[in-house]
Amino acid sequence: MRVMATGTTGAVTPAGPEDLDALLTSGPPATSWRRMVRRFAANRLALVGLIVLIILALAAIAAPLITPASYDDTRFVADTYAFPSAAHWFGVDAVGRDFFSRNVYAIRVSLAIGFGAAVISTLIGIPLGALAGYFGGAVDWIIGRVLEVFQIIPPFLIAILVSTLTNGGIPVLVLIISGTSWMGMCRLVRADMLAMREEDFVLAARALGVNQFRIIVRHLLPNAMGPILVAFSLTIPAAIVVEAGLSVLGAGVNPPTPSWGGMIAEGLSYVSYYWFLELFPVLLLTITILSLSFVGDGLRDALDPTTK
């Protein structure tokens, strides 16, 4: 590609070495991606959140390497309820499992469920929202009613109901939790579609005879990617909270799979004395949720700094 330089007369002349030099030394183009990354990096909370998240993820991946035992290994039976010490960083739980190990493996469970539920929510929410927003009319009405039903019934109750039906198992749990969080994504995409469908470029595409679905997928959705990404990253902590809540009530993951919610429920009866059985799951859960939320907020502010 030949670089052209336009002078003040409007005449186009081939670029000379000085022009190229100017181009090369002015630094990378300030594309919108770069600006967004810069804004994100300037947000201290978001950065801290991101770092913590990376540490958590690494801990989850390297779990077998950094823990003295597996999450269901009850070999410390002689030391049940042992307080935190050098040998057991988080103490020992009621049946002789190293509590630190359990908590670390719980990171895996929570992150996996949170991420999985967010993915499925998105897969459900985007198509429904796009159809509702773009086509409007009857389609919008039907999807609107479905949305309403899911919102009026406390989603949590439905989650408990269905999970009692199916007794646990992580894949099912992920599906159930997605059922409680797809509505946000759907509403968002619908609103974006409504806003964008009157734009000129859509009109142009239609005039050219482009198929409606192709318009949605190839033209409209990519423009909605920013908010979709933000909604996705904020769905993850919400899903983790739902999972923890379900596990506290006994409708979540089945023991011995470690879950902070389950540990919280178990430790509640002894919290006045064996405080560590309650403290560490709560702490880790809080840190995970906060860091995910800060990153999500950071993404949102980076994408659209006008909303502050």
CA distances from 179 to 138, 156, 219 (A): 23, 10, 28
- Residue 237 is a binding residue for another protein (CB under 8 A): yes
Choose, by CB under 8 A, the member of 110, 233, 235, 293 that binds another protein: 293
- Binding span for another protein by CB under 8 A among 9-17, 76-84, 88-96, 293-301: 293-301
- Residue 151 is a binding residue for another protein (CB under 8 A): yes
d(CA 118, CA 1): 43
Return the exposure string of 51-72: e unless at least 16 CB atoms fall within 10 Å of the residue's CB, then b: ebbeebeebbeebeeebebbbe
Nearer to another protein, 13 or 151 (CB): 151
- Residue 36 is a binding residue for another protein (CB under 8 A): no
Shortest distance, CB of residue 297 to another protein, whole angstroms?
7
Choose, by CB under 8 A, the member of 66, 157, 204, 225 that binds another protein: 157
Choose, by CB under 8 A, the member of 47, 69, 194, 241 that binds another protein: 241
- Region 117-146 residues binding another protein, contact defined as CB under 8 A: 144-145
Provide the mask over 254-283, with x wherever binding to another protein is found by CB under 8 A and - wherever it is not.
Answer: ----------x---x--xx--x--xx--x-
- Residue 42 is a binding residue for another protein (CB under 8 A): no
- Residue 84 is a binding residue for another protein (CB under 8 A): no
Nearer to another protein, 93 or 278 (CB): 278
- Residue 109 is a binding residue for another protein (CB under 8 A): no
- Residue 204 is a binding residue for another protein (CB under 8 A): no
Nearer to another protein, 63 or 162 (CB): 162
Nearer to another protein, 115 or 270 (CB): 270
Shortest distance, CB of residue 46 to another protein, whole angstroms?
11
Which chain residues interact with another protein by CB under 8 A?
Answer: 45, 144-145, 147-149, 151-154, 156-158, 160-162, 164-165, 237, 241, 244-245, 248-249, 264, 268, 271-272, 275, 278-279, 282, 285-286, 289-290, 293-294, 297
